[in-house]
Amino acid sequence: MEKNKSIAILGAGLAGLACACRLSELGYKNISIIEKESFAGGLAISIQYKGFSSDLGPHRISASIPQAVDFLNRQMGEDLITCRRRSHMLLDGRMIVYPPRLMNTLSHFGLLKIARFAGSFFSTRLGRLFSPPQEESFETLMQKSFGCALYNKIVKPYTEKTWKMPAAELSPDVAKARVSAGGLAALARRLFLREQKGRETSLQEFYYIKGGIKNLSQRLKEHLEKRGVQFLFNCGVKKMLMNSNGGWKISCNGKNGNEEVCADFCFSTIPVPELVDAVSAHEAKQAAAALEYLAMALVFVLVDRPRISEDTWLYFPEPSLIFNRGYESKNFDEMMSRKHRTIICLEVTMRANDGMWNQNDSWFASRVCKDLASTGLVKVNEIMDTYVSRLAHAYPIYRRGYEARLDEIFSHLQKFPNLITLGRQGLFHHNNMDHSIYEGILAADYLDSKKEAAAAWYRDAGQFRNLRIVD
C-alpha cells in the first residue's frame, strides 16, 4: 500500500497503539486513531486514588513473544522491569502455594487424599479408553488432564465461579489457551522437576512497567503524537460506509456532535459485534449477536497496613467469596502505594445483563470488604476506603460453538478488502498484553507486505488461537 494513503485505527488500546507505532516505523504518514474514551490504553490503564495507583487487572508481560519484548524494550527502556512471581490460593480456609509445590501440597491434602486424586486420574483415563467418544468440552478435557476428583475439588468450582456458567458448556479452547496448571501429569512433574525454559506451565518471573501500565499507554501516545499521528478522543464509532474504491467513511459520536473520518484503510480493535454492526455486515449479525462477554467489577480496597501479603496475585475458588482473584500493586512496584499503607484490587465477574451488574458501587464495596475480612487477610478496622471500576467487555466467553460463529463472522468481513480486525476485542481472543502488541505489529506488517492484506489476515487468523496464556 502506498505510504501516503490514509489509515484509521479504531481503538487506542495496546493493539491499536502498537499497530500505529509499527505503521509509523514503516513510513506511513497519515494515521488517525479513533477512541471512544477520553484517554489512550483501553484496558491497559491504572487508576489513581488518594495517592495510590493500581492497574485494571494484574498486567504482567511474559517473555514468550520476542517481537513484543523487543518493542517494549525500545519504547520503555529502563522502565521495563522484572518481577518475581509469587501467588497463593485460598482453599478450605487455608492459603496454599499456587502453582502447587511438593511439601505444601502434602501438608494441605495429606497422602491419602493425594493418592485418591492420583487414583481418580488413572481411573478417568482408563474409563475413557472403554467409553464411546465424547464431544470435547472444557470439562471433558480437564477431567482427562486432572482426573474427576481433583477437577471437582478445584478446577470446576473456580471455573464456574469465574465464568458464571456450567463448565461443561465451555469450549476446550478455554483450557488450551490458559496453561497455568497444565494437567495432573504436568503438575506432578513440576513438584519434583524444574520446568524447561520455553515450556513453562506457569510464570516464574515476568516483565512489568515501572509505575503502572498507564505509563506504557501514555509513552506510546506521546511517541505517536511526536510522529504526527492524530488522536480523536471521545469518539464512538457509529457507522462505517465503504466507498467504490474500498475506502471508508467513518461516522462517530464526538463530544461536539457527529464527526466523520475518511480513510483508505481501517484497522479495528473494537468489540467485533460492534464492528459488524458498524459496517452493516447483515449476514454476520446473528453470529455476532451470539458472542458473549464476561463483565467485571474491580473493587480497590485501601488498607491501613504496610502490606497484606508478598503475593503478586491471589486466587479464591471458594464459592462463598464474591471475588475470584486479587492483586496488590505494591508487589509489582513499591512506588504504587504509600509506605505504611497498601491497596488491593479484588475482581468480581458477572454478565453485563444480570442483576449483579445493576447493583450500585456501594453494594460491591460492602460485599467485597465483608468477604475480604472473612478470609483473615485483613481486619475490618484496617479497611480505610474503596473505589469501584467496571468493565463491560472484560473477557470473551468461549462457549462451545463460538469458533464456528467467529469463522462465519470473519468470512463475511473478508468481503471488505481494506479492513482488518485485531486485538482481544477484535479477534475475540483471551489475549495477554504481549499478544495484543504482537497482533498490532503483525497487522501493520500484513498491510505493508501482503498484496491482499485483509484476505491474508483472515485466512491466517487461526494462528492466534494457538497463543498461550501462561499464568
C-alpha cell at 371: 468477604
CATH of the domain at 159: 1.10.3110
Position 84 in a domain: no
Q: Residue 362, Cβ neighbours under 10 Å: how many?
A: 10
Tens of pLDDT along the chain (471 residues) come to 789 999 999 999 999 999 999 999 999 999 999 999 999 999 999 999 999 999 998 888 888 889 999 999 999 999 999 999 899 999 989 998 887 766 677 788 888 888 888 888 888 778 777 777 777 889 988 888 888 888 898 889 999 999 999 999 999 988 877 654 454 455 545 544 454 554 444 567 899 999 999 999 999 999 999 999 999 999 999 999 999 999 999 999 987 778 899 999 999 999 999 999 999 888 899 999 999 999 999 999 999 999 999 999 999 999 999 999 999 999 999 999 888 999 999 999 999 888 899 999 999 999 999 999 999 999 999 999 999 999 999 999 999 999 999 999 999 999 999 999 999 999 999 888 999 999 999 999 999 998 899 999 999 988 888 777 766
Q: Residue 227, Cβ neighbours under 10 Å: how many?
A: 15
Picking from 397, 428, 448, the residue at the C-terminal end of a domain is 397
Position 86 in a domain: no
Task: Round to whole Å and give the CA distance between 161 and 175.
Answer: 15
C-alpha cell at 150: 481433583
Residue given cell 501500565 in the structure block: 213
Buried/exposed code over 25-60 (b: 16+ C-beta within 10 A; e: otherwise):
eeebebbbbbbbeeebbbbbbbbeeeebbbbbbbbb
Position 85 in a domain: no
Task: Say what the pTM is.
Answer: 0.91
Same structural domain, 239 and 118:
no
CATH of the domain at 261: 3.50.50.60
Please say whether the dihedral angle defined by the alpha carbons of residues 318, 323, 328 and 329, taken in this order, is positive or negative. positive
CATH of the domain at 303: 3.90.660.20
Residue given cell 495507583 in the structure block: 53
Q: What pLDDT is stored for residue 118 in this prediction?
A: 83
Same structural domain, 286 and 407:
yes
Residue span of the structural domain in which 175 resides: 100-201
Position 89 in a domain: no
Q: What pLDDT is stored for residue 194 in this prediction?
A: 52
Task: Round to whole Å and give the CA distance between 446 and 437.
Answer: 14
Task: Round to whole Å and give the CA distance between 299 and 59.
Answer: 16
> How many independent structural domains does the chain possess?
3
Q: What pLDDT is stored for residue 178 in this prediction?
A: 63
Same structural domain, 355 and 365:
yes
Position 154 in a domain: yes
Could you give the 3-state DSSP secondary structure of residue 213? coil
Same structural domain, 245 and 374:
no
Residue given cell 457507522 in the structure block: 239
Same structural domain, 384 and 254:
no
Q: Tell me which residue of 460, 469, 427 sits closest to 13, measured CA to CA.
A: 427
Same structural domain, 22 and 113:
no
Same structural domain, 301 and 274:
no
Position 95 in a domain: no
Q: Tell me which residue of 421, 144, 149 sits closest to 266, measured CA to CA.
A: 421
Between strands 80-84 and 52-55, the pairing is: unpaired
Task: Round to whole Å and give the CA distance between 5 and 325.
Answer: 45
Picking from 201, 227, 250, the residue at the C-terminal end of a domain is 201
Same structural domain, 112 and 180:
yes
Kindly write down the DSSP assignment for every residue of 297-330, as one continuous string: EEEEEEESSS-S-S-SEEE---TTSS-SEEEEGG
Position 275 in a domain: yes
Give the distance, in angstroms, between the CA of residue 286 and the centroid of all CA atoms in the same chain: 25
Picking from 365, 397, 429, the residue at the C-terminal end of a domain is 397
Same structural domain, 358 and 409:
no
Position 348 in a domain: yes
Give the distance, in angstroms, between the CA of residue 264 and the centroid of all CA atoms in the same chain: 30
Q: What pLDDT is stored for residue 186 in this prediction?
A: 56
Same structural domain, 252 and 373:
no
Same structural domain, 257 and 192:
no
Same structural domain, 308 and 384:
yes
